Structure 1
């Protein structure tokens, strides 16, 4: 993790693999395919993200084969208690502000597996997401207030971005209140 307790790229992939196994045991090949497909649909192909080996998760004791050994015999894998603990740590990690491919992937994974958290942790994550969006709105609004209105399309683009952030904030609030 980074110093601010947010995920580094390889941890995002670990989150994907552990989250999928928390939903049910899977053969090695299926797990690898599902992780790769999800990540590439969000950020496109990336060696930085897909270089993490499922075998490393097995070596670290976060997952284990139900039968067989691993990649060489396409063993069915399951999550261990240590893996469940790591999954919770990843799901409750800090979200970094700003738009990047990694942030999109982490957010998508957190939302994909949010139901694996306790009600309290789920609400905390949604509140943190709302706060992140509120900070983003403050930065964009400040820039818009300082932008020269006659300078190209910057002000119009900022208005569009602020509108999207407002909708994200409202979405988070609706989820928290339900």
Structure 2
């Protein structure tokens, strides 16, 4: 069986591919973490983001949503200066605004997970791509989720980011059909 080739020989990328990518998660904290990391990736490689993941976890107290929602401008600036994260101020500020938006969704839907997974009736979309070149950068569903999240105050949630996010939390399985990690091969 041939596997997805995008992780290459990079051990961090391979571990992410094997253990997290396209694995369904219903945990709000993990989902929030992936939303923040996918937003941080905009314009960069996923490898860069994964290499800074531990620093993000330290800086944002393992993506404690309540903590992130209460961060002040000064605290966000300190985080930017003291941690080895992506230094884009707008992306860093999005952590707070997205945390606030998540808390609002939790009040309305019970959880961030419930809100998101309702788009796919609680079950992942399992694709059967023959090659990685077939995997889309965005879909009508990622466009809809992006639009809905933006209306609710989320930042860095364009349709391409959201499609990657959907892969990250397992709302879609985009492993190629012959990859041993594809849902149908496990």
TM-score of the aligned structures, taking structure 1 as reference length: 0.29
Structure with greater helix percent? 1
Point out the structure with max Rg over C-alpha: 1
TM-score normalised according to structure 2 size? 0.28
Bigger relative contact order (CA 8 A; separation at least 6): 2
